[in-house]
Amino acid sequence: MVPEVVAGEAFTKLRYDRRVSGRRDARQALAVFGLLAADSKLFEIRGLPDQSHRRSVELLARYIDQTFSWVDAIVLLSADDDRRVEMLWTVDSTLGAYRFSHQVLVSSPGH
């Protein structure tokens, strides 16, 4: 499961990070979007969770001592809402501070 906002954030990172796209073209980012295509068997794209704005603001306020972004909050809410989610892969090791309503393993590089 990949929330739509994560796909958008990934596209922006791949599109404008000079380490990835030296010529600042969209080929690499579009290749990733191809993997995320609606007919792909690799990933399921998800829209925003129910009442996402209100709930994300509440989450960010509850975890005010953490460095969660708004997109992080959406990812956490999406994973927490779906009891089938057992693992969260992230490059942001701070997401492990979130307390899920069911068991979710947060895996990041080096952990």
pTM as predicted: 0.81
DSSP 3-state of 106: strand
Residue 10 has pLDDT above 70, yes or no: yes
Inter-CA distances, 59 with 29, 68, 76, 98, 109, Å? 30, 9, 9, 9, 24
pLDDT for the residue 71: 94
Q: What are the residue ranges spanned by the domains of the chain?
A: 2-45, 50-107
Q: Tell me which residue has tokens 């009891």.
A: 83
pLDDT of residue 62: 97
Least Cα distance to 43 among 51, 33, 52, 53 occurs for 33
Q: Which residues have a Cβ under 8 Å from the Cβ of 22 and sit 6 or more positions away?
A: none
Within 8 A by CB and 6+ apart from 42, the residues are 35, 36
Tell me which residue of 98, 103, 89 sits closest to 66, measured CA to CA: 98
For 66-108, how does the pLDDT look when each residue is reduced to its tens digit (9 = 90+)? 999 999 999 999 999 999 999 998 888 889 999 999 999 999 8
pLDDT digits (tens, 9 = 90+) for 33-64: 777 776 667 778 888 999 999 999 999 999 99
pLDDT score at 110: 67
